[in-house]
Amino acid sequence: MPSRRFAPALLAASALAGALPAAAMEVREFRRDGWGGTLTAGFRVAAPPDQVFETLTDDTRFAEFMPFVTECRALERFPGGAKILMRARQFGMFDFSVVYIRRYRADRRQVTWQEVGGFFKRDDGAWTLAPDGAGTRVTYEIILDPGFYVPGFLLEFGLRQGLPEIGESVRRRAESGGRWKRPK
């Protein structure tokens, strides 16, 4: 796990990567809140909401399709959710681990997460699903507070980092019925 002293460098590198065009995911809003911020984005999947929900709740197989994720396993399961450990690698050099509580709404239209152990002061968010014709409109929201000051433009770019790959990976996995895997 990178130390806090490397966090500004990690966010600066994220800003450079975040400058890439968002192909599959459209950013709708960025709001600054103290030292942190909230980013809301969305995209469409040509699969029914239940199929997208299955993709987003198949956490033990995230490493097969989610960008940056190298391992994801359930530490505990409970009705309507799980406590998971997720390991990831950014930019081929920063390895980190985060423990999240994930909750799955009973109507199968939302998955939320809350960091309970990891690098940032706060890393929470949600995937919200809405029927859209024969497909699904997916809204992604992330709330991040690094616990130290980061200029707003850098925080926004850092939050945008990876959005095109995340949206495209969820879309491809859901549309393939859980068979698509990201290339190694």
pLDDT reading at 39 higher than 70: yes
CA distance 68 to 62: 10
Q: Are 42 and 140 within 8 A, CB to CB?
A: yes
Q: What is the pLDDT of residue 91?
A: 65
Average pLDDT over residues 164-178: 95
Q: Is residue 124, in this structure, part of any structural domain at all?
A: yes
Q: Is residue 182, in this structure, part of any structural domain at all?
A: no
Q: Is residue 73, in this structure, part of any structural domain at all?
A: yes
* Segments forming the whole domain that contains residue 53: 4-175
User: How many domains would you assign to the chain?
Assistant: 1
Q: Is residue 181, in this structure, part of any structural domain at all?
A: no
Q: Is residue 170, in this structure, part of any structural domain at all?
A: yes
Q: Is residue 76, in this structure, part of any structural domain at all?
A: yes
pLDDT reading at 6 higher than 70: no
- Specify the CATH number for the domain of residue 67: 3.30.530.20
CA distance 156 to 72: 26
pLDDT digits (tens, 9 = 90+) for 9-28: 344 334 333 333 334 689 99
pTM of the shown model:
0.85
pLDDT band at 174 (very low <50, low <70, confident <90, very high): very high
Instruction: Report residue 146 as tokens.
Output: 């690094």
Q: Is residue 165, in this structure, part of any structural domain at all?
A: yes
pLDDT digits (tens, 9 = 90+) for 81-132: 999 999 998 766 788 899 999 999 999 999 999 999 998 999 999 999 999 9
Q: Is residue 106, in this structure, part of any structural domain at all?
A: yes
Residue 12: what are its φ and ψ, rounded to 5°? -65, -45
pLDDT digits (tens, 9 = 90+) for 41-75: 999 999 999 999 999 999 999 999 999 999 999 99
